[in-house]
Amino acid sequence: MSDLAIIGGTGLTRLSGLEITRREVVHTPYGEPSGPVTHGRLLGHAVAFIPRHGSTHNIPPHRVNYRANLWALRHIGLTHVVAVAAVGGVTPAMEPCRVAIPDQVIDYTWARAHTFFEEDLEHVTHIDFTEPYCAELRARLIQAGASAGLDVIDKATYGATQGPRLESAAEIDRLERDGCDVVGMTGMPEAALARELGLCYASCAVVANWAPGRGDGTVITMDEISANLVSGMEKVKRLLEALVTSR
C-alpha cells in the first residue's frame, strides 16, 4: 500500500522497523502539523508516518492540530490512514495489552476544531457518519491481525473524551451505559475530519490500562500504562507488518 499513512499515538512516536527515506515538512492552511511526515519503507513497502503528539510526545490530546495533520497527509497524496491510539479498557473483554479495531465512536470532546466546512462555503455541507470508519481498511486490519496470529477484537465502540486528565469512575460508568467499550482522547475529531477529506481511515486501539473504576480499581499510573504499551505496541508492529505485506 504505497498510499498508506500511519498516525502514531501514545507509545508510538516513531515506527520501529521503518527504514526512513526522507522527512517532509508540510505547511497547511490550518497551521502546522504535529511534525514532519516521515517517509520510509516497512518490510520493503512504502509507508508514511506522523506522530500525533509530536516527536517528543509534548502535544496533549486537546491541543493536537487534527485538521493540519490530516490535511497534510491528503495533500501529499496519501489516501489510507491507520490511526494508532492508546485507550483504556471499559468492558471486561478490553483488558490491558489487547488490540481492538473499533467500528463505532461516541464523541464527548468539546472546543476542538472539528470540521473543515465552516468558512467561505458555497453551501452547507454534511457528511454521512453512520459508519465512522472505512470498512475496507477495517477489514484489512482485522485480516492482518489474524495473519499475524493476534487475537484482535474486531468490534468496539470508542468513547472520545476531552483530556488531558483521565476520567472519573462515574464518567466511565456513564460511558459504559452509553455503549462504549474503550475510552481515549484522540479518536475525535480525527475520524470525522478524515471522512470530510474523503480519506479511508480506521483506528487501531491498544488497551494501555483499565479505565478508572475497572479492573482492580487501583490508581492508574503512567508506569503501568508505559509497561502495557511496550507489549501492546509490539502487537501493533506485527499487525502493521502483516498489513503492508498483504495483497
Backbone φ and ψ of 171, nearest 5°: -65, -40
| Residue that wins the pLDDT comparison between 10 and 234 | 234
Give dist(CA 66, CA 62) in Å, integer. Answer: 10
Rg (CA), the chain: 17
Q: The C-alpha cell of 153 is what?
A: 477484537
* Mean pLDDT for the stretch of residues 34-42: 93
The tens digit of pLDDT for each residue in 59-97 reads: 999 999 999 999 999 999 999 999 999 999 999 999 999
The tens digit of pLDDT for each residue in 207-240 reads: 999 999 998 767 888 888 888 888 888 999 999 9
Helices (H), the chain: 66-75, 135-147, 169-178, 190-196, 222-245
Is the pLDDT score of 103 beyond 70? yes
Taking the alpha carbons of 112, 30, 132, 151 in that order, is the dihedral positive or negative? negative
Residue 17's pLDDT is 77
Q: Read out DSSP for 143-164?
A: HHHHHTT---B---EEEE---S
Confidence of residue 1 (pLDDT cuts 50, 70, 90): very low
pTM, two decimal places: 0.92
Q: How far is CA 123 from the centre of its chain?
A: 30
Is the pLDDT score of 13 beyond 60? no
Which residues are annotated as part of the binding site? Answer: 10, 52-53, 185-186, 209-211
Which residues are annotated as part of the binding site for phosphate? Answer: 10, 52-53, 186
* Mean pLDDT for the stretch of residues 169-191: 98
Number of independent structural domains in the chain = 1
The tens digit of pLDDT for each residue in 23-36 reads: 999 999 999 999 99
Task: Using alpha carbons, select from 113, 144, 112 the residue that is nearest to residue 238.
Answer: 144
Residue 171's pLDDT is 98
Which residues are annotated as part of the binding site for substrate? Answer: 185, 209-211
Residue 201's pLDDT is 98
We report the CATH number of the domain holding residue 101 as 3.40.50.1580
* Mean pLDDT for the stretch of residues 29-55: 93
Contact 210, 95 (CB under 8 A): yes
Q: Read out DSSP for 65-98?
A: -HHHHHHHHHHTT--EEEEEEEEEE-STT--TT-
User: Which stretch, 12-26, 118-132, 173-187, has highest mean pLDDT?
Assistant: 173-187
Domain span holding position 81: 4-245
Mean per-residue pLDDT over the chain, rounded: 92
For β-strands 157-160 and 182-184, DSSP reports them as parallel
